[in-house]
Structure 1
Amino acid sequence: MTRIAVGGFLHETNTFAPTKATWEAFVHGGGWPAMTTGADVLKVMRGINVGLAGFVEDAEARGWELIPTIACGASPSAHVTEDAFERVVKVMIDGIRAAGQLDAVYLDLHGAMVTEHLDDGEGEILARVRDVIGPGLPLVVSLDLHANVTPQMVEHADALIAYRTYPHVDMADTGRASAKHLALLLNSGQKLSKAFRQLPFLIPISWQCTFDEPTKGIYDKLAALESDAVPTLSFAPGFPAADFLDCGASVFAYGRTHADADAAADKVAALVIGHEDDFDGPIYTPDDGVKLAMQLAEGASKPIIIADTQDNPGAGGDSDTTGMLRALVRANAQRAAIGVIYDPASAKAAHDAGLGATVRLALGGKSGIAGDAPYEESFVVEQLSDGRFVAPGPYYGGREMEMGPSACLRIGDVRVVVSSHKAQLADQAMYRYVGIEPTAQAILVVKSSVHFRADFQPIAEKLLICAAPGAMPADPASLPWTRLRKGIRIKPNGSSFEG
């Protein structure tokens, strides 16, 4: 029987964010399933939209024996602590070493992990795995679309295969694609040639959405370039908030020959570069965005949805800034809701006060973001929750969520989802679990950049993007870069980084 060691370790690192990812963050998981080890990995990784779950499903259908090590992820944030990284990787490496005779290894990684002691978290993981398994054993890895792929990652893996959708509704599909590619390697007994291209400009995450052009068309053309000669080809737009040499977009191809791989990679790279002008769009101030949303809502039959993009916990924000809430209240917005504001102290105060109570709070604003502060006001406690629910939408894909003690607070006709754990608001259930029906609102503000669109676009009259204070600037050129590679443009058609 073919024996495959598997594991997962996912983190998207915003080196400018306020809060680091500790061991405890990976134990809890945030928007990811809680940490599991050994046989429990195969119990949890089923029927959910995660790369490892898709791989497990396909591998078992092929009759492979899987040897699970560890599976964990944490909400995007600042650096992974050295303690967390070393503890997780030790479990993974020890599990692979103890597995006995193996035919291959598959890992579900993000591709944009920076730690307190390492710029290239995934490159180090793959180097350590390669040291254990030797040069001949196939090592296949699924990656996030936002991976900042490095030469070390390409060197040590036999294949890196990235998601092709943002919102990431194809995470499990990418795991299945990884299994298919691994089967090709095992059946042929041959390695494929690699081609890797780093692209010359950073791409803002708000304009990476694959529902829209140019990204939609790029991925359509990329898929058409795959063939027997080039079995897999990836474009990773990158995560433009990691201050290190290899931050940015890339293309990586695997071909029967070097010429096959090079030709495919060059075609996709040229396609992306040719669309540099198109990776841009309108972004509103909080007050202008709310004013426009209220005007649009007057004649709308569905909610106007505003992305609070700079406080997106899916990009390293703490999900606690108050700029958009203040704008809603200033404008006396009606039938409006905002979520999720992460504030355990305020959630506790609401639970202590009880349903129907009015409580004075210093809500949110505790992450120290410039231009932001706690919002000191009185709120009515409209609903309470223990924070446990299932998120059935396309992005979370049926994951069991654990947001901790939570509440719906009301000020005027604005309702606020407050939680004790943070996760990106990318599912309608993240309003409903505290009694807010999203389809009944005129305006919804979501702390997300793009992932929310998987579940919310079908119920939206119009989508707007606002830039309130937050850890993930919509314009990467506004970040205080110090360590990028020389010459890369810090936004489409922007100035070049000169060090």
Structure 2
Amino acid sequence: MSNPRVAIAGIKHETNTFSTVKTKLEDYSPRYGHEITDFYIGTRTEIGGFIDVLREKDIEIIPTIAAGATPSGPINRKDFDHMIETVLNGIREAGKVDGVLLSLHGAMVAEDTPEAEGTLLKAVRGLVGPSTPIIITLDLHALISQTMVDHCDAIFGFDTNPHVDMYERGKEAAETMVSTLKGEIKPVVAHKKAPMMPPTINQRTTEGPMTKLQARAFQMEQDPKVINACLFPAFPYADVERVGSAAVVVTDDDPKLAQKLADELGDLFWNLRDEFLKPLTPIPEAVKRAIEAPEGPIILADVADNPGGGAPGDGTEILRELIKQGAKNVGVATIKDPEAVQRAAEAGVRGTLTMEIGGKTDGFHGDPLRVTATVRTLTDGHFIHKAGRIGVRADVGRTAVIDADGIEIILTERSHAPNDPEIYRRNGIEPTDKKILVLKSRGHFRAAYEPFSKEVIEVDAPGLTTPNLDWFTYANVPRPLWPLDENREQGEQKRTERT
């Protein structure tokens, strides 16, 4: 008897539908066939977990496509269709597969396709049929839909935020696939959504309301009939109908139990909604506090210009205030500005130049800032992650560090969320030596930076990932929806007024 065969794929994008930056196939750096196993083996990623378990169990891996892009605007439909067809063709060419493992994000949007993952899952299910198990992993910020639930057998979401358990969830999904193929279990999945999309800055699993939700979910998993209980507090920067906080429960052939437990977690989301709200610090006050702090590093988190949520990462308002207040011994990571990188490269290391940096993608993140600076380092922008996605090779494009009177600014050709301190170290800056660190990140930086920082200040700057959701005009999300609508009754009234 031949060994079982499992197809694997990864298509990941957290789509910010308010972004003006459209996403193309090349932004995903797609890998095909055995390029996937070569790239991901030994990495602390979901696909790394798939590979380790399947190889250990002597299951043949059918790799199709692995593609992931920095969050931005929707991908065009032609390129999205290419990715779907690559998955389907890989399965067809294999002749027969016994199961399908997919590493997805869960908040991907394509042009004219607001539910990208559901579209992919429906296509895969249509090809492999109802009896072939399809098991998926999702980011904690996934937007769950009925279509997604209907066309897979099990869902495994990250248990951590900042996300540090990608590998473990990949292994768990693959182990569930193995048990399913052996006939030891028959997973069934249920979900419950709450009409809410809390701001992302207080969705951390280390403190706040998510700890209470997870405590109950983990308690549920002690039941031998429960395979998995996971929580998806929502991604509020996608203006699509499937927005909402969701609970997903997978049981061993007990759909009633799965639905009962999912309902309980969904209700708990709603009951805890007010605990997700958290104030931000105005820019002048944040900078003043950081300068006056007795010791550092003090982290100024530019949560509204987070490339990890679809912002361009070229905002200038915090940097502008740092210069205004005369801050020294500062590191800024990162500002996307290919033009400025080219100017720095032309000036060369130790060269001095005056130029405008940042604020060039859209009108949401501040105007370009004129600085006079000295070029400290020039690199190719390649490094290997030592935190978060450990072992994965990063490429932020050509990179320049410029020093503007005691403020060292990392300029990159590509958007980058600096969640790994390696972005500093690769470019000649030791972050632990800085008094102030500016990080364009919502919260994933905390896993690696909090152990050596003295304080984190979340700054109220402008941008496409601001927690101030009233900043956006939503047209497609379901209403009523908290916190846009204070309660269900008010939301119903607003919806009636619009129609």
TM-score range, shorter chain: over 0.9
User: Residues 386-411 of structure 1: CA distance to partner in whole angstroms, max 9, x if unpaired?
Assistant: 11222211x12122221221111111
* Alpha-carbon distance between aligned partners in 2 of 1:335 and 1:181, rounded to the nearest angstrom: 50
Matched, 1:418 2:411: yes
For the residue of structure 1 that corresponds to 2:6, the secondary structure is: strand
Q: Which residue, out of 212, 227, 246, partners 1:231?
A: 227
* Aligned amino acid, residue 152 of structure 2: A
Contact 1:289 1:464 in 2 (8 A): yes
Contact in 1 for aligned 2:155/2:189 (Cα 8 Å) = no
1:251 aligns with 2:247: yes
User: Is 1:401 aligned to residue 401 of structure 2?
Assistant: no
Give the paired residue count.
488
**Mapped pair 1:327 → 2:321:** yes
Matching residue within 266, 269, 275 for 1:269: 266
- CA–CA distance in 1 between the matches of 2:98 and 2:32? 21
Partners of 1:168 and 1:6 lie apart in 2 by 21
Deviation of 1:490 (Å): 3.5
Q: Which segment drifts farther, 62-71 or 376-385?
A: 376-385
User: How big is the shift at 1:433?
Assistant: 1.7
Aligned-pair CA distance for 1:220:
2.8
Please report how far the alpha carbon of residue 136 of structure 1 lies from its aligned counterpart in structure 2 after TM superposition. 0.9
* From 306, 311, 335, the counterpart of 2:300: 306
Corresponding residue for 1:348?
Answer: 342
Cα offsets for 1:219-268 (capped at 9, x unmatched): 23211211221111111111111111111210111223222112211222
The CA RMSD over aligned residues, in Å, is 1.6
Is residue 287 of structure 1 aligned with residue 284 of structure 2? yes
Does 2:237 match 1:241?
Answer: yes
Alignment match, 2:139: 144
Shift of 1:272: 2.1
Displacement of 1:5: 0.5
Which amino acid in structure 2 is aligned with residue 67 of structure 1? I
Amino acid of the structure 2 residue aligned with 1:9: I
Q: 5 Å matches for 1:73-84?
A: 73-84=68-79
Question: Cα deviations across residues 403-434 of structure 1 (Å, max 9, x unaligned)?
Answer: 22111111121110001122211011111122
- 1:359 is displaced (CA, Å) by 1.1
Q: For residue 52 of structure 1, what is the amino acid of its counterpart? A: I
1:446-485 aligned at under 5 Å gives the runs 446-485=439-478
Matched, 1:368 2:362: yes
Contact 1:202 1:476 in 2 (8 A): no
> C-alpha distance in 2, partners of 1:144/1:370?
26
The residue type equivalent to 2:158 in the other structure is Y
- Aligned residue number for residue 371 of structure 2: 377
Is 1:109 the equivalent of 2:104? yes
Query: What letter corresponds to residue 274 of structure 1 in structure 2?
Result: N
Tell me the amino acid that sits aligned with residue 317 of structure 1. A
With 424-433 and 397-406 compared, the bigger mean Cα shift is at: 397-406
Tell me how far apart the structure 2 counterparts of residues 150 and 290 of structure 1 sit (CA, whole Å).
Answer: 41
- SS of 1:222's equivalent in the other structure is helix
1:387 maps to a residue whose letter is G
Residues 137 and 325 of structure 1: CA distance in aligned 2, closer, same or farther (over 3 Å): same
Moved more, 343-352 or 260-269: 260-269
| Range that drifts further, 471-480 or 198-207 | 471-480
For 2:184 and 2:32, the matched residues in 1 are separated by: 30
C-alpha distance in 1 between matches for 2:334 and 2:410: 5
User: Any idea what SS the aligned residue of 1:96 has?
Assistant: helix
- Specify every segment of 5 or more residues in structure 2 that has no aligned partner in the other structure, as ranges: none
SS in 1 for 2:94: coil
Aligned to 1:161: 156
**1:104 Cα offset (Å):** 0.5
Q: Shift of the alpha carbon at 1:190?
A: 6.0
Separation of aligned partners in 1, 2:237 and 2:227: 31
Q: Distance in 1 between matches of 2:136 and 2:255?
A: 20
| In 2, Cα distance between equivalents of 1:392 and 1:320 | 24
Tell me the distance in 2 between the aligned counterparts of 1:65 and 1:493.
52
Contact 2:364 2:464 (8 Å CA) reproduced:
no
Q: Give the alignment partner of residue 428 of structure 2, picking from 435, 439, 449.
A: 435
How far the C-alpha of 1:308 sits from its partner, in A, is: 0.3
CA distance in 1, matches of 2:271, 2:258: 20
Does the 8 Å contact 2:314/2:365 carry over to 1? no
Is the contact made by 2:315 and 2:365 (CA closer than 8 Å) also made in structure 1?
Answer: no
Aligned residue number for residue 386 of structure 2: 392
Alignment correspondent of 1:337: 331
Tell me the alpha carbon deviations over residues 29-85 of structure 1, each in whole angstroms, 9 at most, x when there is no partner: xxxxxx210111111112223211111111111111110001010000011111221
The one-character-per-residue Cα deviations of 1:355-404 (angstroms, maximum 9, x if unpaired) are 111112110111113361111221111111111222211x1212222122
Partner of 1:206, secondary structure, is helix
Evaluate the alpha carbon distance shift between residue 346 and residue 82 of structure 1 in structure 2; reply closer, same or farther with a 3 A threshold.
same
Q: Which amino acid aligns with 2:409?
A: V
Shift of 1:476: 2.1
- Greater shift in the superposed pair: 152-161 or 370-379: 370-379
Task: Give the corresponding residue for 1:31.
Answer: none
Relative to the length of structure 1, the TM-score reads: 0.95
Q: Is the 8 A contact 1:343 1:364 kept in 2?
A: yes
Counterpart residue identity of residue 231, structure 2: F
- SS of structure 2 residue aligned to 1:9: strand
Is the contact made by 2:375 and 2:401 (CA closer than 8 Å) also made in structure 1? yes
Amino acid at match of 1:251: A
The worse-fitting range, judged by mean Cα deviation, of 70-79 and 209-218 is 209-218
SS of alignment partner, residue 237 of structure 2:
coil
Structure 1: 5+ residue stretches without partners: 28-34
CA deviation after TM superposition for structure 1 residue 321, in Å: 1.1
CA contact (8 A) 2:314 2:336 kept: yes
Q: Between 93-102 and 2-11, report the one with greater CA deviation.
A: 93-102
What code does the residue aligned with 1:10 have? K
Q: d(CA) in 2 for partners of 1:172 and 1:367?
A: 34
* Overall identity of the aligned pairs, in %: 31
